[in-house]
Structure 1
Amino acid sequence: MYFSRNDIDQLDHIYKINLINSITGYKPANLIATKSKAGITNVAVFSSIVHYGSAPPILGFVLRPTTVRRHTFDNIIETGYYTINHINEDIIEDAHHTSAKYPQDISEFNQTKLEEEYKNEFYAPFVTQSAIKIGMKFLQQLEIEANGTILILGEITDLYINDTLIEKDGFVDLMKANTAVINGLDTYAIPTKNKRLTYQRPNK
């Protein structure tokens, strides 16, 4: 099949967003958890988290335009802290349900079987069932003029990983955790095979 730019613009809305969200390949499946200054927690599924550097350790994710209230964004800007938690096979359905648009005074933790937990006095909650939990401190927001989205950059301040997942050289084997990935907007998959290659040098 071939789609010109004009063809894409003329597509049915749902067909178009499914198409464009699928063509980039598998995306990470994570839950971002926050807490407002009033103490109301929020947890939501995100598939746009990207590594931006290791020294300092920076991760970023994209938020849709704030033309409507975005509770995750509001809480991060208000408090400066949030957590990133891997989605695994056992919590896919509950994790996906966090994409439902609940009022700000209702926590998605209370609408699912996801459990919140607090570690070392970190302000935002972690997700108990996640094998990899990352505490983040907000660094900056960058507005993307092309479509009104917002790139949020944060610094890793706390990192919790199940002991069995880390190899001697620091590599984290996500397959052992049954970590999920997202295909498009609403399809989840569990990778079943690793092929790890060595660092590559010219002519070798």
Structure 2
Amino acid sequence: MTYFSEHDIEKLHHLYQINLINSCSGYKSANLIGTKSKKGIENVAVFSSITHIGSSPAMLGFFLRPTTAIRNTYNNIKETGFFTINHIHKNILEQAHHTSAKYSAEISEFDMTSLNSEYQNDFFAPFVQDAPIKLAMQFVEEYNIKANNTILLVGKITGLYINDGLIENDGFVNLSKAQIATINGLDGYAVPQERIRFGYQRPKQLTADN
């Protein structure tokens, strides 16, 4: 087993270090966040940091790197208060990954890829047309992470669209049926084919034999 101390990690080549630390945490969600500026310019970008915040109220969050560079997604959300989360699936992997390229605010990633935008129920921000699962989100609050100057942005789910056949009887969304992708590191993608559910676990009852 290869071992890296904190000192070893700090001394690694920059790109090697980025790849190592981004991938060692395990598989992450693969999503496209759609936004639109006040000028009406659409933006869509791949994110792997979206996480569950709470179910009631239904809230999700995602992390952004420091805003010293171009951050069209962040700027649009702060200006308008709305964004969408769209699950990436097997058939759009390459096009979805290209949205990680740094385009200026005047250029829409929808125009630079074969991804298409669509609108649902007069929601302000664009959805990705071919996504099997789409979430309409409204900005709630943000938190600055002082340790590395990143931002946790929190939003509430105001609308949820799921393709037919993906929801099981207990409300569980079967992502594998839609060939939803995951991200390993910055540019590694996987499409899980199988799943195992063990159900809600309760403590075992101790007996005299235990």
TM-score, with structure 2 as normaliser: 0.96
- Could you say what secondary structure the match of 2:60 adopts? strand
Tell me, in whole angstroms, the C-alpha distance in 2 between the residues paired with 1:199 and 1:112: 42
Count of aligned residue pairs for this structure pair: 204
Larger radius of gyration: 2
Deviation at 1:69, TM superposition (A): 2.7
Deviation at 1:103, TM superposition (A): 1.0
Q: Deviations over 1:133-166 (max 9, x none)?
A: 0000000010000000000000000100001100
Instruction: Identify the residue that residue 80 of structure 2 maps to in structure 1.
Output: 79
Q: Is 1:123–2:124 an aligned residue pair?
A: yes
Instruction: Identify the residue that residue 106 of structure 2 maps to in structure 1.
Output: 105
The runs of 5 or more residues in structure 2 that have no matched partner are 206-210
The 8 Å contact of residues 132 and 162 in structure 2, kept in 1 or not, is answered as yes
Q: Is 1:6–2:12 an aligned residue pair?
A: no
Amino acid at match of 2:153: I
Tell me, in whole angstroms, the C-alpha distance in 2 between the residues paired with 1:198 and 1:10: 44
Identity of aligned residues (%): 61
Instruction: Identify the residue that residue 167 of structure 1 maps to in structure 2.
Output: 168
Q: Is 1:137–2:130 an aligned residue pair?
A: no
The 8 Å contact of residues 70 and 102 in structure 2, kept in 1 or not, is answered as no
Instruction: Identify the residue that residue 89 of structure 1 maps to in structure 2.
Output: 90
After superposition, the CA RMSD in angstroms is 0.6
The 8 Å contact of residues 70 and 104 in structure 2, kept in 1 or not, is answered as no
Deviation at 1:113, TM superposition (A): 0.6
- Could you say what secondary structure the match of 1:105 adopts? coil
Runs of 4+ in 1 over 2 A off after TM superposition: none
Amino acid at match of 1:192: Q
Tell me, in whole angstroms, the C-alpha distance in 2 between the residues paired with 1:59 and 1:129: 22
Deviation at 1:30, TM superposition (A): 0.1
Instruction: Identify the residue that residue 67 of structure 2 maps to in structure 1.
Output: 66
Tell me, in whole angstroms, the C-alpha distance in 1 between the residues paired with 2:199 and 2:69: 46
- Could you say what secondary structure the match of 1:73 adopts? helix
Tell me, in whole angstroms, the C-alpha distance in 1 between the residues paired with 2:72 and 2:53: 24
